[in-house]
Structure 1
Amino acid sequence: MKRQNFVRIIEMARLLFDIFYDGECVSEDAFFEWLRNPDQSETKGYSAVEMSTRDFFTWLTQAETESEEGKEEWEN
Structure 2
Amino acid sequence: ASTEGKLYGSVGAREIADAFTAAGLPVSKSEVILGEGAFRNIGEYDVLIHLHADVETTVKVVVVAEA
Q: Under a length normalisation based on structure 1, what TM-score does the superposition of the two structures give?
A: 0.25
**Using CA pairs below 8 Å that are at least 6 residues apart, which structure has the higher relative contact order?**
1
Structure with the higher helix share, 1 or 2: 1
Larger Rg: 1
Q: TM-score when scaled to structure 2?
A: 0.27
* Richer in strand (by share): 2
